[in-house]
Amino acid sequence: MEHPRVIPFSCPEPLAEPAELAELRETEGLARVRTSTGHPAWLATRYDDVRSLCADRRIGKSHPDPARAPRLWNAELFAPERREPEKELDERRRVRAVVMSTFGRQRIEGLRPSATETCEDLLSGLVARGTTADLVAEFAEPFATDLLFDYLGIPLTDREAVRAGIIAVRKPGGSSGMRAQMRSYFHDLMQEKSRNPGADALSEMISRLASPTDITLLSGFFPALAEYDTIANRIGYGLLALLAHPGQLAAVRRDGSLVPSAIEEIMRFAVPGGSWLPRYALVDFTFQGADIRRGDLIVCSAQSANRDSGVFADPDTFDAARTPNPHLGFGHGKFYCPGAPLSRMMLEIVIVAVFRRLPNLRLAVPPTELLVDTGKVTGGLVALPVSWDAN
């Protein structure tokens, strides 16, 4: 069978969606496609389909034959494992509950003072250095890294290696065995914290796990749990979305009550890397007329779901006051992102602080000239060059 469409589709510019997605939403349910690695896959593009599949117990991360599993990318971050389907679901649910509670809204709120201080310090550094900057390298990445690594309790001496490992497992055709090295590192770190706990999030999670086996399972959440890169990408795209829509930015600056809805619109509209979610069928089943077999690759596109006109009016318009906004920017169901409260808080701090400290902030190049980072599967901007007027 021929599969003429090859995913992931490329974005013509950072804030646009690929034309193929709009076409598929209108003409097909689950589309039969071919991946960048040459494997066949099912692609879900409609909001209802993506939402349903994210909550479906019949798909997961394991595969009956990992060495032969179809792949969306040759990136270690999404490499499948051999697990018993029911065991996978139960184990992940148990450990995930601990992760979700540790990243819960109330605990994350306790980070607000230190997060605000870190943000202000970075902005002071930008102002001291001049009137131009790259907000990716000089602001978003260090802000996300410092805050998340401090929260988790990753030692200062290890952070550069951890950063390098997180990026390596996101690179197509990246370093073989890096994911195993990362898991080994986090397993050893958690063992140490179980013996000598601190006031950090990892120590808290370990104290609530039921057995040593669960510590091993928790190490499997890394490097996803330490994904400073994903948060940094969202900050960069969020700032770009507002700067590229000056009318919306002006409205948010006039009315601070719009900041929460602006954050949700950023999550819907600005999707680094397209948010392609590759998973595997754990059993044979039929979905929307598609006969899916165990081991089939199923890819959900959150970017496409968030532009579904059946759910969102004028979906290609960035509307900071949009409400309701039931986007899938953080996923859904068992694939909902544990870091959602942290991402929301950080975006709020950034939006308020950046445009207060730099009221004349502007893009240094047209939005269409900004480049998407194709060197890692989580995407993001290569750079976000900006300028502002000196005080």
Alpha-carbon distances, residue 82 vs 67, 86, 104, 357 (angstroms) = 9, 12, 30, 51
Asked whether residue 346 is assigned to any structural domain, the reply reads yes
Asked whether residue 55 is assigned to any structural domain, the reply reads yes
Note the pLDDT of residue 74: 87
Asked whether residue 217 is assigned to any structural domain, the reply reads yes
**Strand, helix or coil at 30?**
strand
Domain of residue 331, CATH code: 1.10.630.10
Cα separation of 340 and 343, whole Å?
Answer: 5
Range of the domain at 174: 6-375
Asked whether residue 299 is assigned to any structural domain, the reply reads yes
Alpha-carbon distances, residue 130 vs 22, 54, 142, 336, 384 (angstroms) = 42, 46, 18, 40, 16
Note the pLDDT of residue 223: 60
Note the pLDDT of residue 357: 97
Q: In a structure prediction context, what are the per-residue pLDDT tens digits for the chain, which is 391 residues long?
A: 455 799 999 887 899 999 999 999 988 789 999 998 999 999 999 999 999 999 999 998 889 899 899 999 888 888 887 777 667 777 777 888 888 899 999 999 999 999 999 999 999 999 999 999 999 999 999 999 999 999 999 999 999 999 999 888 888 876 678 888 888 898 899 889 989 999 999 999 989 886 777 777 787 776 667 788 999 999 999 999 999 999 999 999 999 999 999 999 999 999 887 789 999 999 999 999 999 999 999 999 999 999 999 999 999 999 999 999 999 999 999 888 889 999 999 999 999 999 999 999 999 999 989 999 988 888 899 999 999 999 7
Strand 59-60 to 276-281 pairing: antiparallel
Measured CA angle at 16 (ends 60, 172), to 5 deg: 45
Note the pLDDT of residue 114: 96
Note the pLDDT of residue 1: 45
pLDDT digit string (tens) for 233-271?
Answer: 999 999 999 999 999 999 999 999 999 999 999 999 998
Cα separation of 225 and 219, whole Å?
Answer: 9
Asked whether residue 68 is assigned to any structural domain, the reply reads yes
pLDDT digit string (tens) for 42-89?
Answer: 999 999 999 999 999 999 888 989 989 999 988 888 888 777 766 777
Asked whether residue 49 is assigned to any structural domain, the reply reads yes
Q: State the pTM of this model.
A: 0.94
Count: domains in the chain: 1
Note the pLDDT of residue 81: 77
